[in-house]
Structure 1
Amino acid sequence: MIFHPISQTRFVGFFHFHKAFLERGIFGVLRHFGQLVQLRRPLMANLL
């Protein structure tokens, strides 16, 4: 596949935006899960 420079930069920006969004979502879920574990088991929360 041949990409035009404009569409390629647009694709890269789109990819980086979704990568940051996914990483932020994953860290948010892990942080929320860590808080739930911390309410139940303080020792296990220290491992996270």
Structure 2
Amino acid sequence: MMDDERRRHLEAKLLEALALADAIEEYAVGAMLSATIMHLRTDRQDA
């Protein structure tokens, strides 16, 4: 069985990875929204 120190270390690493995944997801959503807005503006200007 894993000792407590090793378990705490792995839990901390997991929390860091989850925080990074959340930040990447927020960035990706923001980029998609920005691209969508730019696309809609281009469509409106072409009309």
Shorter-chain TM band: 0.7 to 0.9
Normalising by structure 1, we get a TM-score of 0.77
User: Structure 1 residue 10 and structure 2 residue 9: aligned?
Assistant: yes
Which consecutive unaligned segments of at least 5 residues does structure 2 have?
Answer: 42-47
1:31 corresponds in structure 2 to 30
Give the letter for the 1:12 counterpart. E
Larger radius of gyration: 2
Normalising by structure 2, we get a TM-score of 0.79
Percent of pairs identical after alignment?
2
**Root-mean-square deviation (CA), in Å?**
1.2
Runs ≥4 residues deviating over 3 A: none
Query: Does 1 or 2 have the higher relative contact order (CA < 8 Å, sep 6+)?
Result: 1
Which consecutive unaligned segments of at least 5 residues does structure 1 have?
Answer: 43-48
Aligned pairs, how many?
Answer: 41
